[in-house]
Amino acid sequence: MNSNTKSIVIRGIGSSVPQQKLTNKDLSKIVDTDDEWITTRTGIKERRIAGKDLQVSELGRAAAQKALDSAGVKAEEIDLIIVATLSSEMISPATSCIIQEKLGCRAVPSFDLNAACSGFLYSLEVGKSMMLNGEYENALVIGVEKLTSYTDYEDRTTCILFGDGAGAAVLSKTDGEGLGILGCKLGADGGNAPLIQIPAGGSARPASIETVEAREHYLRMNGREVFKVAVRGMAQAATDILEKHGIDPSELKCIVPHQANIRIIEAIAKSLQLSDDRMFVNIQKYGNTSAASIPIALDEAKIERNFKKGDPILLVAFGAGLTWAASVIRWYE
């Protein structure tokens, strides 16, 4: 082994979700829907709601602290913080800076990354590259969302989908190769950007009486079109990254997909010629938590699927942008 070779591993992981639940039955009292439609079309039974007093910096801090505890790393040992989110606490400053202060980290580089539901995997890749090329030994990568702040509870096609939560990973640099994050396939197609948008609140359409009255601060999505592109995009990214690393899908211990729709997850299993039970699913409990979805699922999968050191695991995501990402890792903890 080349003594200069380094790997970036996930040394610890943690998650945090709000206590409050919003069930399908609750939603059926707000919009014209029912448990049967939501369950069969999406797989979702309930989601978590942060409410007005619980902010993303607190959700992210709690998940990050659990990841630090699981890694046995102190907040002062963190050299870099990346927060994947599309529901940042404020437009500025970055939520990562608020979390840095709350955790008691040093004045280390901290920034937010917006790649929507693919954000956590984008952040793993950015973190890995920065660590391999720089002086960073330990990094925090956090996926956190409060999507309910952007959810239109008058639109039954979207309000059934989204929930709040956070997941975090501690990345560490270690000697040797072939450990931890093996590689990542990232992609984006801005030509399909209009398929998922929050039209107002950015610099093009700042908040005004008109934008509020037009409900333009809420997420809008062409679900049917996104569904088709999501299946194709995730299956292709997964196949590409597995081929690149010479891993047959049948060798995977587990696939942890973005939790957007159970039918999308099943379609990916089919395209990889795997049975559905190889896919980790917790969408029934949390709905779609965008950038938080994969780290929350990974945190639960490691226990429920009994991950062991060296197990090959595939993470795959898709979201607004449109963006997609697939990462292959060898479990390290």
Residues that bind ligand UT7 (CB under 6 A): 33, 37-38, 41-42, 117, 156-157, 160, 223-224, 226-227, 230, 260-261, 264, 288, 318-319
Strands 138-146 and 164-175: antiparallel
In sequence order, the β-bridge partners of residue 327 are 184, 315
Asked if 258 is an active-site residue, the reply is: yes
In angstroms, give the least distance from the CB of 201 to ligand UT7: 18
Please state the closest distance from residue 333 (CB atom) to ligand UT7, in A.
27
CB burial of 57-67 (b: ≥16 within 10 Å; e: otherwise) equals bbbbbbbbbbb
CA 297, 234, 177 angle in degrees (round to 5)?
A: 70
117 is catalytic: yes
Q: Pick between residue 156 and residue 305 the one whose CB is nearest to ligand UT7.
A: 156
Q: Which two tokens stand for residue 276?
A: 């559905």
Which residue, 41 or 205, is less far from ligand UT7 as judged by CB? Answer: 41
Smallest separation (angstroms) from ligand UT7 to the CB of 170: 25
Measured from the CB atom, the residue of 174 and 271 that comes closer to ligand UT7 is 271
Contacts of residue 188, Cβ cutoff 8 Å, sequence gap at least 6: 115, 321, 322, 323, 324
Query: What DSSP element (H or E) covers 22?
Result: strand 21-23
* Opening angle at CA 99, ends 137 and 113, nearest 5: 75
Q: How far apart are CA 113 and CA 83, in angstroms?
A: 6
Q: Which is nearer to ligand UT7, 34 or 101 (CB)?
A: 34
Q: How far is the CB of 57 from ligand UT7 (least distance, A)?
A: 22
Q: How far is the CB of 318 from ligand UT7 (least distance, A)?
A: 6
CB nearer to ligand UT7: pick between 181 and 226: 226
Sequence-distant (6+) residues with CB within 8 A of 194 are: 222
Residue 281, both tokens: 């699913």
* Shortest reach from residue 152's CB to ligand UT7, in Å: 12
Residue 222 or 239 having the CB closest to ligand UT7 = 222
Residue 89 backbone phi and psi in degrees, to 5: -55, -45
Active-site residue flag, 97:
no
Cα-flanking dihedrals φ and ψ of residue 137, to 5°?
-100, -40
**Catalytic site residue from 97, 105, 117, 184:** 117
What's 292's DSSP letter?
A: G
Report the residue number whose CB is nearest to ligand UT7: 223
Catalytic entry in 159, 258, 261, 282: 258
In order of 231, 236, 318, 331, 333, the CA distances from 271 in angstroms are 9, 9, 16, 24, 30
Name the minimum Å distance from CB 48 to ligand UT7.
16
Residues 61, 99, 175, 131, Cα dihedral to 10°: 150
Among all residues, which ones are annotated catalytic?
117, 258, 288
